[in-house]
Amino acid sequence: MKLKKQVTVCGAAIFCVAVFSLYLMLDRVQHDPARHQSGGNFPRSQISVLQNRIEQLEQLLEENHEIISHIKDSVLELTAHAEGQPALPQHPLNGSWVLPPENRPSFLSVSPQDCQFALGGKGQSPDLQMLAVYSLLPFDNQDGGVWKQGFDITYEPNEWDTEPLQVFVVPHSHNDPGWIKTFDKYYYDQTQHILNSMVLKMQEDPRRRFIWSEISFFSKWWDNISAQKRAAVRRLVGNGQLEMVTGGWVMADEANSHYFAMIDQLIEGHQWLEKNIGVTPRSGWAVDPFGYSSTMPYLLKRSNLTAMLIQRVHYAIKKHFAATQNLEFMWRQTWDPDTSTDILCHMMPFYSYDVPHTCGPDPKICCQFDFKRLPGGRINCPWKVPPRAITDANVAERAQLLLDQYRKKSKLYRSKVLLVPLGDDFRYDKPQEWDAQFLNYQRIFDFLNSRPDLHVQAQFGTLSDYFDALYKKVGIVPGMRPPGFPVLTGDFFSYADREDHYWTGYFTSRPFYKSLDRVLEAHLRGAEILYSLALAHSRRAGADGRYPLSDYALLTNARRNLGLFQHHDAIAGTAKEAVAVDYGVRLLQSLTNLKRVIINAAHYLVLGDKDTYHYDPAAPFLGMDETRSSQDSLPERTVVKLGTSPRFLVVFNPLEQERLSVVPVLVDSPHVRVLSEEGQPLPSQLSAVWNSATDAVPDVYQVSVLARLPALGLRVLQLHKALDGHAAPGSSTRLYLHGRDVPVRKPEALPLHVFPAAADDFCLENQHLQACFLGRTGLLQSLRPAGEEQAHRVSSEFLVYGTRTSKDKSGAYLFLPDGEAKPYAPKDPPVVRVMEGPLYSEVASYYQHVQTVVRLYNVPGVEGLSLDVSCLVDIRDHINKELALRFSTDIESDDTFFTDLNGFQIQPRRYQRKLPLQANFYPMPAMAYIQDMQSRLTLLTAQALGVSSLHSGQLEVILDRRLMQDDNRGLGQGLKDNKRTCNRFRLLLERRSTANKSSGFFSKLVSMFKALSFPGTRTGSPEVQDERPISFPSLLSHITSVHQNAEALVMPVALEKPALPALRSFVPLATTLPCDFHILNLRTLQAEDDSLPSAEAALILHRKGFDCSLEAKNLGFNCTTSQGKLALGGLFQGLELGSLQPTSLTLMYPLGTASNSTNIHLDPMEIATFRIRLG
């Protein structure tokens, strides 16, 4: 009681101080003439000054209101803490459940300095902003003559008299690690022969050059060649004949891939190159991804690459950039206040990266210089004019013809240095092709170079030879901005290669594997971190001899399988069916192996007495949380059998923040209670498990427990069979059959009420949110945040897109709908099941092709602030249909919406009415949102899918697509291998505090005066007025996203006997990380023997950019922000930081010298890598 009084007095004192400070501020506003002018650009009319002052007053009032409400909340929480209330849910008379208040403060204060970043406004404007370019272009697709999608190029013959044209012909072979054939089949049939011939043929003439990018293939070949051949390769790389470009494990897809996996495959490739060849890539090469994300130039720049090349960009943008000589530009991040993220990017101008489309604008002529197509070969020129071998008799005429193309192409660029790629898919696989290309081209070069009057210097080159020559020509250091070159911000989605053929279908194609990709990624990150911690702790205890170091090989294999799947025909869903199965088998094998790595690490870390640790591969200490029977099946969760002895669970939280989560466990008895490791009862809920809408699984129950899980740590829980009435409280269920005659199997021990008709409309609510549903469909209708009078319309519906009847139809790549979507009309009405319980309530709607579950958690903090939405989709009986989920709201978003790029950054989008429907879809790997002045609605996703906003207030996502035909892009198949797929989302409604600044009565009055005085000014979404193309999620949105993507893993202790060693929860972090810091990875580096770990690890951190203008009360995360400062020295409990070396992203270059200080600083949005030793 004494404590309660102290807390109350303290709270009252703070309240008085706040009120007094408010009084002083108001006084200052009235007497400080400088503040009257703070509007800067306001006209000096009385109305404007009045409005300005009122807005300032309201802002100050609002800030004080916030402070006071936070104080109030925290006083209440402290009081609750002082009274020590039991943490079990209570059931009041009205039937809804109430959780007691949290027994610790959960209010978050963000430093004002950390809010400045999202406001932007520093730095200069770019010359080219892609949103503005889209608004500018007519997209009229006029016939350009020989260059169909371009224009006629002319030049004066004497243009090169003072400065000769320098031509670099760059031989390349594009090797897909899986597409028409599997990775291994391609390797054995083609790739190994390409690389073997390369070693042989490059040594014949030192003027020959070749580039290679896919390290997945290169490493496989390396493992199979002799030491002599390896030495020859190192010589070729050393003397500049062979260049490794980009150096990633694959040439990654940039639409669907998540930034963790993009970075991981880059590190895997770069580490392999450094270890085996001793080389660091300098230039990026991405000729085949179907559109480009601005995340990739950031990652390449952070890896110390100085230039990059792209090819598959919308033909209208290519034409526009060519006409304005903007095909080479400095690509900059939208948030960059200076030039630190700039990287030189070269965009290829023509239709394809094959030989007919790379020498110049006329494919009919260029094809004549693809000497693989000489008469008598297997491929010819579609333009009906074959190549001719170069002889002394024809070299003058042939060289002149080719030079004309080179000159025309060079007119599209600013410099007199020209890049001419020479290659195609799986080229140079036979020695004859090497001879045909290299000998004939060398004859042309020799002729051109011998004629000074032609003013041309032509040679074979690598990609970096080209960029080096370009930098030398303009006289600056590689990596700097060449004079006059434009700065560009934005991305290159969505891609069309001709007509209205938009490559927006692959944003969703094969969603089952897109989902499995993210499950594997979360497991890889979790396994890397836990393995690194277990290894460091075992070394410190001198027990590393008993720890299974062999797990490192499993980690390497998983990195490589996840890396392989980032390939632009893998995660994209654009490979043949058999190849998709091969990827699936690899993903599942790695997923199973990673669960083993996590189990072995967790086993060691939770043992109270580490000396009792014994690794037995035949009898793992912990069981797996779930299993998958095959690569294309959904997971089946493990059922824990309860007996007379308690069963122990170890729960792993892969997040770097402590979390309060509802942890689900399947058990074989309804009589269960859950205790902490100390034996304290924990809040829990018992629910039935359902096979179908009306069929409860016998003898299986889900007990959901509310547990506080330590950051990156392991929590030990106990399950007891409860025989004395202390069992977990049950949930009650209502089943609405909607007039359908279906058999019902009721769950034992839990109440079920069956209603033959449809339900009336109904609502679920928790302390943060009320969600209302339509009775006859069970679909969401509205959301009302706590404290708001008015509900927001947020209604969901399912829709179906068909495909065209004309010759060009949708396929794996293309989305070619037959018009707007039509409502999904199943033959039967849905069965709706409503379950209510103390920890969560949910509504399940069972339709013929989709089952949707909307869940509302009744818990404090992050999980209770958003809706959990999942859709189990099965469209295997559809023909040429795509299923979409659309949310319609009263948010006045106009034509603006926002989608993420690779889970790393947000890109504002604008619905373009001048473009077809399919052009307005974009990739959504992690989230999309719409907003107006008052609200923001965010859809967070656990898997990459295609998204759009086709009308104001709408957000829609394509869930799955089943297409019966090929779309003529080389695959030769439709998409008919659909699986039962579970798509998981979170729906988050946030209030924007900008709304308050103009919502006061006087402000409204002034606005009316202004409208009368200055008619015609446009009101609407702030994005229309504010053309800065930059936006950030809120901190709550970021944390909700990581909660969704890194679920807690529940591992039952396998031993059912009572003779268990003592287990202790593992808390690895000594301090709380700032809210905006994300540990992307803690990746143990390989030793000399690459199957074993070294003593070093890579710590990769990301400081997230966030928007402070979104309000939320009781966020429930106990962290704050720190202006980017972090002390790593004392971060890991029980471990010392032996060394700390900042490096480039992929660890190839040390940045500065390793200092004794362990304090680091990151700018917002920065990703930084440190080479560390823990022990």
Give the residue numbers annotated as catalytic, written as ranges: 288
What angle, rounded to 10 degrees, do the helices at 395-410 and 431-449 form? Answer: 80
- Look up residue 370 and give its DSSP letter: -
Indicate the SS3 state at residue 859. coil
> Which residue do the tokens 């650009």 mark?
41
Provide φ and ψ at 18, rounded to 5°: -60, -45
Contact in structure between 766 and 840 (CB atoms under 8 Å)? no
**Residues whose CB is less than 8 angstroms from the CB of residue 443 and which lie 6 or more positions away in sequence, other chains included:** 390, 391, 395
Where on the phi/psi map is residue 861: left (φ > 0), alpha (ψ -120 to 50), or beta?
left
How many angstroms separate the first and last alpha carbons of the chain?
Answer: 46
Cα–Cα distance measured from residue 575 to residue 288, given in angstroms and rounded to the nearest whole number: 14
Centre a 10 Å sphere on the Cβ of residue 633 and count the other Cβ atoms it contains. Answer: 14
- Look up residue 646 and give its DSSP letter: P
Query: Which of 588, 570, 631, 587 lies closest to 180, judged by CA?
Result: 570
Contact in structure between 883 and 889 (CB atoms under 8 Å)? no
- Token code pair at residue 880: 């040429």
> Which residue do the tokens 């008799």 mark?
393
Cα–Cα distance measured from residue 846 to residue 737, given in angstroms and rounded to the nearest whole number: 10
Indicate the SS3 state at residue 961. strand
**CA-to-CA dists, residue 1069 to 238, 710, 1038, angstroms:** 45, 8, 21
Cα–Cα distance measured from residue 900 to residue 925, given in angstroms and rounded to the nearest whole number: 7
Say whether the peptide bond before residue 494 is cis (omega within 30 degrees of 0): yes
> What are the start-end ranges of the H helices in 1028-1147?
1035-1045
Q: CA triplet 682, 687, 689: central angle to 5 degrees? A: 135
**Residues whose CB is less than 8 angstroms from the CB of residue 1015 and which lie 6 or more positions away in sequence, other chains included:** none
In order, the DSSP letters of 404-467 are HHHHHHHTTSSSSEEEEEEEEET---SHHHHHHHHHHHHHHHHHHHT-GGG-EEEEE--HHHHH
- Token code pair at residue 632: 């294309």
Report how many helices (DSSP H) and strands (DSSP E) the chain contains, helices first: 22, 48
What angle, rounded to 10 degrees, do the helices at 215-222 and 551-565 form? Answer: 140
Query: Which of 801, 1116, 1089 lies closest to 960, judged by CA?
Result: 801
Centre a 10 Å sphere on the Cβ of residue 360 and count the other Cβ atoms it contains. Answer: 29
Burial of 84 (0-12, 13-18, 19+ CB in 10 A): exposed
Query: Which of 587, 594, 599, 598 lies closest to 630, judged by CA?
Result: 587
Contact in structure between 933 and 896 (CB atoms under 8 Å)? no
**CA-to-CA dists, residue 248 to 303, 836, 1110, 1117, 1146, angstroms:** 11, 49, 38, 36, 10
Amino acid at 210: F
Query: Would you say how long the chain is, in residues?
Result: 1175
Strand 896-901 versus strand 905-910 pairing type = antiparallel
H or E element that contains 584: helix 577-606
Cα–Cα distance measured from residue 623 to residue 651, given in angstroms and rounded to the nearest whole number: 12
Buried-state track 288-305, b at ≥16 Cβ within 10 A, e below 16? bbbbbbbbbbbbbbbbbb
Query: Which of 528, 493, 520, 490 lies closest to 507, judged by CA?
Result: 493
